[in-house]
Amino acid sequence: MVSVGTVVWLSSELMFFAGLFAMYFSLRAASGEMWAEETAKLNFPFALVNTIVLVASSFTCQMGVFAAERLQPRRGGGAFDFLRWGMIEWFLLTFLMGAFFVAGQATEYAMLVSEHVSLSTNAYGSAFYMTTGFHGLHVIGGLVAFLFIIGRGYAAKRFGHFEATSAIVTSYYWHFVDVVWIGLFLVIYVLK
């Protein structure tokens, strides 16, 4: 039931982001010249590195899911024996990568504000900050979920299917957030 409920909830989130994409494309269509001028201020290499880190975090998250499905909450070997890591170690790495992404977004916001692109500057600023900002809030929500799952992994006297299911549905959310970012990255940074 938890898995089905998560998928239904993610469907509503998909509609929310579809609305943000529609807003972005509508404003872009109405303000083509301004869009070309403002997108020139984006730091593509910086955003690409940030994107690669976020996408890679989906792989580390999935490794944590595989460990949870084996009912292995903690590592079974040395700290650098990655093949024997448990769910907690993989989710901690995923958390760090997600935190890196959020810090990168904050850095990018600071760079754009220094170039006089803010939420209230123009339609481009509004669209950029609304789409990336709501995505960032979703990433932060995922980071909180990872902390919760990691804490439950440490606290569980016996790691069973209930704990594994929580880890799995958290991964659904994280993969969703990553896929949405790939779409945003392509629309904002590639299709200028």
What is the pLDDT at residue 113? 95
Number of Cβ within 10 Å of residue 81's Cβ equals 11
pLDDT at residue 192 above 80? no
Instruction: Give how far Cα 47 sits from Cα of 41, 77, 87, 105, 152, Å.
Output: 12, 35, 29, 8, 33
The first and second tokens of residue 94, run together, are 């995923």
What is the pLDDT at residue 63? 95
State how far the Cα of 47 lies from the Cα of 171, in Å rounded to an integer. Answer: 23
CATH number, domain of 66, equals: 1.20.120.80
pLDDT at residue 132 above 80? yes
The rounded radius of gyration (Å) of the Cα atoms in the chain is 19
Contacts of 156 (CB under 8 A, 6+ apart): 73, 163
List, for residues 101-110, the tens digit of each pLDDT value: 999 999 999 9
What is the pLDDT at residue 79? 72
Task: Label residue 133 by pLDDT band (50, 70, 90).
Answer: very high
**Runs of H (alpha helix) within the chain:** 2-30, 32-39, 44-69, 87-114, 123-155, 161-185
What is the pLDDT at residue 70? 92
State how far the Cα of 139 lies from the Cα of 173, in Å rounded to an integer. Answer: 9
List, for residues 69-122, the tens digit of each pLDDT value: 998 888 777 777 777 799 999 999 999 999 999 999 999 999 999 999 999 989
Residue numbers of the domain that contains 176: 2-190
pLDDT at residue 135 above 80? yes
How many distinct structural domains can be found in the chain?
1
What is the pLDDT at residue 77? 74
